[in-house]
Amino acid sequence: MTIPANGYPLTAAVSPRVQVAEHTGSTNADLVVAASAEEYPHLSVLLTTDQRSGRGRLDRRWETPPGSALAVSVLLRVGELPLDARGWIPLAAGWAMTEAIRAQLTDQDVALKWPNDVLVGGRKICGILAEATLDFAAVVVGSGINTAMAPEQLPVETATSFAVEGEVCDEDRLMADYLVRLDRALTALIAAGGDAVASGLHADVVGVCGTLGRAVRVSLPDGSVLEGTATGIDAEGRLQVTRAGAAEPAAVSAGDIVHLRF
């Protein structure tokens, strides 16, 4: 079920279509299916504060008790973006969300954990999942932001929320700030022919990325583990990890990162 978007005027000023579900299983799953059947414009938004079967990456679960978090999925029509630059979409979303959260948590240490978790004081306040629509014509980027989540509601020890940080999240402002930045970053990336260094996105992501300079352990998709220091992000958006004693970094395009020291 959807209800009017009049509770989110700033978001509605940025997005051509804002749908609010009272509750749903997964806003990403819903928007992936809906946008494949119907013409949803670029920057369409589906959101809820009661998501009951939230999806994480690799079939993991995103857990948020009703009313404790915002789940927001955005439809991106980025057909003009070269295929080999699509890996920058989740990074752009992570950067945009980091900046949007920073605008409200001004006294805290808010940083991006590569590729797209937002951490506050090293604990996760937001996770992001990008998925293609069924016809591969568009991308759905879903963000889960822990807003009113009380300490006893945190699903894992490594999580935090606006409430735990002692703040009330202005959800409408958060989404509007996020959408404006995300759209601007992707528009610039398309204008630069997919070159993230030329568009400035590479520098933006590097500027907020708290993973850089840290000792990290990376669990790679093939089951192997890589340990080293995160030394950079390359022009393709891959994390560069340099093993102790190695001259050249290894480039990681997908994997789970653990920050080993804070």
Tell the smallest beta-carbon distance from residue 52 to ligand BT5 (Å): 10
Tell me whether residue 132 or residue 203 sits nearer to ligand BT5 (CB atom).
132
List interacting residues with ligand BT5 (CB under 6 A).
Answer: 26-28, 51, 54-58, 60, 62-64, 69, 71, 73, 117, 124, 127-129, 142-144, 146, 155-156, 159
Tell me whether residue 11 or residue 199 sits nearer to ligand BT5 (CB atom).
11
Tell the smallest beta-carbon distance from residue 198 to ligand BT5 (Å): 29
Q: Which residue is nearest to ligand BT5 (CB)?
A: 127
Tell the smallest beta-carbon distance from residue 248 to ligand BT5 (Å): 28
Tell me whether residue 76 or residue 129 sits nearer to ligand BT5 (CB atom).
129
Tell the smallest beta-carbon distance from residue 146 to ligand BT5 (Å): 5
Tell me whether residue 71 or residue 186 sits nearer to ligand BT5 (CB atom).
71
Tell the smallest beta-carbon distance from residue 195 to ligand BT5 (Å): 27
- The tokens of 159 are what? 């999580």
Residue of 181, 214, 213 whose CA lies nearest to 200: 181
Handedness of CA 205, 57, 211, 45 (dihedral sign): positive
Tell me whether residue 84 or residue 152 sits nearer to ligand BT5 (CB atom).
152
